[in-house]
Amino acid sequence: MPLRLDDLRPNDGAHTFKRRVGRGHGSGRGKTAGRGTKGQKSRAGGGVRRGFEGGQNPIQQRMPYKRGFTNIWKTPWEVVNLSQLAGLEIDAITPEELYARGLIRGIEFPVKILGNGEFDRSIAIAAHAFSASARERITTAGGTIEELERTDRWVNARPRSRRLPFNRTLREARVGKSGGPERGRMHNNRPRTGLKEA
């Protein structure tokens, strides 16, 4: 018999129909529609986020091996080994030259020279920091070292809270304590009496 369009069928198990819940007791999924009885997860729009454990300390905070953090104030040093500098045919090595040759990500990052690899060239190297082994190998080869002053935005670690200096001033002024001024009388990090001059 010839194959017709209405004879086409998917393979067994290739297509499953969506389970229609809440269609009466006879369907087997009526009444509570598979959601159980009462509670937050049985309501429309209910449910909790992934990892929520009813308000108790979640597992990612209970287990010691789950702890840790990423220091967002860490200085992103650009490290360059002496083995990478040995093949550069230039008269002087500076952060600008390293960036032009793709050895560092950008000139806004501080550069540190490490002593891995062989180095026997007499050349001037300028960077923001040098390891002890790098200093020894460069000077032994007859080269010179120039340690640049850091002017990047990672020179000083930023405080976690911008209010720390102000809070320190409040403590020193005994704000809120017996005999001290009220918090509302503090302005510009200096205590004010709040009394008008005659």
pLDDT of amino acid 197: 46
pLDDT of amino acid 183: 61
* H-state helical runs in 7-163: 59-62, 82-85, 95-100, 132-140
pLDDT of amino acid 157: 60
Q: What per-residue string of b and e applies to 154-173 under the rule 16 or more CB within 10 Å gives b?
A: eeeeeeeeeeeeeeeebeeb
Q: Give me the CATH code for the 78-147 domain, please.
A: 3.100.10.10
pLDDT of amino acid 158: 59
Amino acid (one-letter) located at 123: I
pLDDT of amino acid 72: 81
Taking alpha carbons only, the member of 156, 107, 100 closest to residue 127 is 107
pLDDT of amino acid 198: 44
Domain coordinates in residue numbering, the chain: 78-147, 159-198
pLDDT of amino acid 56: 94
Q: What is the mean pLDDT, run by run of 10 residues, along the chain of 198 residues?
A: 89 91 92 92 91 89 73 89 90 94 94 92 94 94 94 75 61 76 58 48
* H-state helical runs in 26-128: 59-62, 82-85, 95-100
CB 119 within 8 A of CB 86: yes
pLDDT of amino acid 66: 57
